[in-house]
Amino acid sequence: MGYRWLVARQALLGIGLVLLAAGCGGDAPAGCALGGSSPAAPAASLAFRCDLDAQGHPASADIFQLRTDGSQAVRLTAGLGWATDPAWSPDGKELALTTTRDGSPNLYLMDSTGGRLRRLTSAPAADSNAAWSPDGRTLVFASGRDGVTGPLGAARRHASLFAINADGSDLRQLSRVSGYSAEPAWSPDGSQIAFISDRDGNPSLYVMRSDGGEVRRLTDEGFFEGRPSWSPDGRRLAFFRTGTLGDRPHATIQVIVLQGGKASTLVPGNGYDPAWSPDGSRIAFVSQRDGAPNLYVARSDGGGVLRLTHDAAPKFRPAWRPQAA
Residue 29 lies in a domain: yes
- In the chain, the number of structural domains is 1
CA dist., res. 138 & res. 89, Å (int) = 10
- pLDDT digits 0-9 by tens, 227-236: 999 999 999 9
Instruction: Tell me the three-class secondary structure of 26-73, residue by residue.
Output: CCCCCCCCCCCCCCCCCCCCEEEEEECCCCCCHHHEEEEECCCCCCCC
Residue 304 lies in a domain: no
Q: What is the mean pLDDT of residues 108-136?
A: 92
Residue 44 lies in a domain: yes
Predicted pLDDT at 38: 58
Give the least confident one: 14-28, 46-60, 217-231. Answer: 14-28
Residue 219 lies in a domain: yes
Give the least confident one: 40-54, 115-129, 193-207, 291-305. Answer: 40-54
The Cβ of residue 60 has, within 10 Å, a number of other Cβ atoms equal to 20
Banded pLDDT at 33 (limits 50, 70, 90): confident
Instruction: Tell me the three-class secondary structure of the chain, residue by residue.
Output: CCHHHHHHHHHHHCCCCCCCCCCECCCCCCCCCCCCCCCCCCCCCEEEEEECCCCCCHHHEEEEECCCCCCCCEECCCCECCEEEEEECCCCCEEEEEECCCCCCEEEEEECCCCCCEECCCCCCCEEEEEECCCCCEEEEEECCCCCCCHHHHHCCCEEEEEEECCCCCCEECCCCCCEEEEEEECCCCCEEEEEECCCCCCEEEEEECCCCCCEECCCCCCEEEEEEECCCCCEEEEEEEEEECCEEEEEEEEEECCCCCCEEEECCCCEEEEECCCCCEEEEEECCCCCCEEEEEECCCCCCEECCCCCCCEEEEEECCCCC
Residue 260 lies in a domain: no
Closest CA to 274 of 48, 17, 33, 25: 48
Residue 166 lies in a domain: yes
Give the least confident one: 67-76, 231-240, 254-263, 292-301. Answer: 67-76
67 or 18, higher pLDDT: 67
Percentage of the chain modeled with pLDDT above 70? 78
Contacts of residue 84, Cβ cutoff 8 Å, sequence gap at least 6? 17, 49, 58, 61, 63, 97, 98, 99, 128, 316, 317
- pLDDT digits 0-9 by tens, 94-121: 999 999 988 889 999 999 888 788 999 9
Residue 300 lies in a domain: no
Predicted pLDDT at 25: 38
CATH number at residue 203: 2.120.10.30
Give the least confident one: 21-30, 87-96, 221-230, 261-270. Answer: 21-30
Half-sphere exposure of 306 (CA within 13 A, CB side): 16
**Across all residues in the chain, what is the average pLDDT?**
83
Give the least confident one: 20-29, 74-83, 100-109. Answer: 20-29
Predicted pLDDT at 67: 77
pTM for the full model?
A: 0.86
Predicted pLDDT at 40: 55
Q: What is the mean pLDDT of residues 11-33?
A: 43
**Domain assignment of residue 221, given as a range:** 3-253+269-294+310-319
Residue 8 lies in a domain: yes
56: left (phi over 0), alpha (psi -120 to 50) or beta: left
Banded pLDDT at 5 (limits 50, 70, 90): very low
